[in-house]
Amino acid sequence: MEHVLGYVALAAGLIIGLGANGACIGIGIMGSKYLESAARQPELMNELQTKMFLLAGLIDAAFLIGVGLAMMFTFANPFVLK
């Protein structure tokens, strides 16, 4: 049973860590592309900004879903038989 709890803790750490890493890289690339496109066409900055914030929320939501799954496996573990 202790092995299962150890593996679940390791998996939860990987889910949260890799999800945060991916979200940070994705938002960083998206922000740089937004600044690039706003510098090229300043008249489209308001439309681009709206789309950028929408996508930032979706990227963040995908990470938070991963955090929720990791917490579910940590606190309500379906793999531990009591």
Catalytic residue set:
60
| Range 15-19, long-range pairs (CB < 8 A, 24+ positions) | 15/66, 15/67, 15/69, 15/70, 16/66, 16/67, 16/70, 19/62, 19/63, 19/66, 19/67
- Residue 64 CA to residue 67 CA, distance in Å, equals 5
